[in-house]
Amino acid sequence: MKGKSSKPHILLITRNLPPLIGGMEKLIHRIALGISQYSDLTIIGPKGCSQHLPNHIKTIEAPKNLAPFLFLSTSFAIRELRAGRYDLLIGGSGITALTLYLLNRMFGHRTIIYLHGLDLVVDSTIYQKVFIPCIRTMNSIIVNSQNTKNLALSKMVNESKITIIHPGTDLPPLPDSSTLDAFKQKFQIEFEYTMIFVGRFTRRKGLSMFIENSLPNILAALPSAGLIVIGRAPGDSLNQQGEEQRVAQLASNPLVRERIKFLGQVDDEELAHCYALADVSIFPLVHVKGDVEGFGMVAVEAAALGTPTVAFDTGGVADAISNANGMLISPGNYPEFSAAVLQILTGQKPGTASCLEHASQFAWDRVNDRFKEVVLESTT
């Protein structure tokens, strides 16, 4: 272990870190960077994560695949706790609950777990019978939305343990028109009105249902509109209910195929340009048993670039959208969803300033301050 320090010694165990890709991975990465500013932090994470973390964070890598990660991360944590002093153990998601429970029983360390929604409802009998009871034993539980809190309460988690801390966002400068023109030319984007979808191709995200039930009507009203799609199949997610083939099939329809541009996975700068270029972000979520949208990070990311969002009001997305940055639609009401998208595309929308003000409430410094309060309270 490290030498004596006035900072608390914290062990964070999480599979949700780069090089794995996704909203949870981005979230836990930023949370880890924040925690490292006021603690001596050690992370047990997926293979390759050390390349994405600063040198002052000690890293121990376990295999990326779920089962080997769970087994070896537990073994590595036991070795760490036997070798030196730690003040607190943190789990990045519900899949670490069994590990934290065992470590608490063996060494007596206090525990915090961060829950995201899916890790409460995942459709697995073993998970529900083993991991959920372990979650109940945690000393503190942080959740990403009111909906996730409600799910935790439905699993008989003690409400006094729960703190809601929403995910955060960067507040980048808005790109200028010449930058956006160069971006459009690079990717051959020629839409007069631009929609954007960002997310994995999972059933929950609802892209195929949107292409089938809303996009043709939007294009009938605004033929020069188009949809930019950013994302990929769910290779590393806990729930892999993918629909890549269904999306491809629907996108080949002559009515829509010339009006959809698939960009795949893009880097952070290109994603920011996409958000800034778009007139509206679409978030056509659908309810899927054993799956849930815990928060709605893309709506906040879009707002940070001045772009409003239209979303179905399901899962935790209501915590990410208000009248200041978009519109919430009754789940499954595709005519209303289409009308809301058209309303925003034609200029009846929250303005850039309103979206930016909304996004500022989720700035990373605010999120990390909230985490700091909970973490330091747990170490005293």
For the chain, percent of residues with pLDDT exceeding 70: 96
Ordered strands of the 326-329 beta sheet: 260-264, 225-230, 193-198, 280-283, 309-312, 326-329
Tell whether pTM > 0.75: yes
Is cis: bond before 54, omega within 30 of 0? no
Q: What is the pLDDT of residues 333-358, one digit of tens each?
A: 999 999 999 999 998 879 999 999 99
How many degrees, rounded to 5, is the angle at CA 98 between CA 96 and CA 100?
65
Q: Euclidean distance between the first and final Cα of the chain, in Å?
A: 20
Give phi and psi for 282, each to the nearest 5: -105, 140
Cβ neighbours for 369, distance < 8 A, ≥ 6 positions apart: none
Identify the band that residue 22 occupies on the pLDDT scale cut at 50, 70 and 90: confident
Average pLDDT, the chain: 94
Q: What is the pLDDT of residues 163-181, one digit of tens each?
A: 999 999 999 999 999 999 9
Q: What is the pLDDT of residues 301-314, one digit of tens each?
A: 999 999 999 999 99
Please give the distance of CA 252 from its chain centroid, rounded to a whole number: 29
Separation of alpha carbons 360 and 370, rounded Å: 15
Q: What is the pLDDT of residues 96-148, one digit of tens each?
A: 999 999 999 999 999 999 999 999 999 999 999 999 999 999 999 999 999 99
Give phi and psi for 202, each to the nearest 5: -115, 160
What is residue 242's predicted lDDT score, i.e. its pLDDT?
61
**Statement: residue 9 has pLDDT above 90:** yes
3-state SS track over the chain: CCCCCCCCEEEEECCCCCCCCCHHHHHHHHHHHHHCCCCEEEEEEECCHHHHCCCCCEEEEECCCHHHHHHHHHHHHHHHHHHCCCCEEEECCHHHHHHHHHHHHHHCCCEEEEECCHHHHCCCHHHHHHHHHHHHCCCEEEECCHHHHHHHHHCCCCHHHEEECCCCECCCCCCCHHHHHHHHHHCCCCCCEEEEEECCCEHHHCHHHHHHHCHHHHHHHCCCEEEEEECCCCCCCCCCCECHHHHHHHHCCCCCHHHEEEEECCCHHHHHHHHHHCCEEEECCCCECCECCCCCHHHHHHHHCCCCEEEECCCCHHHCCCCCCEEEECCCCHHHHHHHHHHHHCCCCCCHHHHHHHHHCCEHHHHHHHHHHHHHHHHC
Cβ neighbours for 81, distance < 8 A, ≥ 6 positions apart: 11, 103, 106, 107, 109
Query: Smallest Cα–Cα separation from 192: which of 226, 216, 217?
Result: 226
Q: What is the pLDDT of residues 30-76, one digit of tens each?
A: 999 999 999 999 999 999 999 999 999 999 999 999 999 999 999 99
What is residue 3's predicted lDDT score, i.e. its pLDDT?
46
**Statement: residue 5 has pLDDT above 50:** yes
231 vs 234, more confident: 231
Q: What is the pLDDT of residues 257-274, one digit of tens each?
A: 999 999 998 999 999 999
Residue type, 273: H
β-strand partners of 61: 45
The b/e string for 93-124 (b: 16+ C-beta within 10 A; e otherwise) is: bbbbbbbbbebbeeeebbbbbbbbbbbbbbee
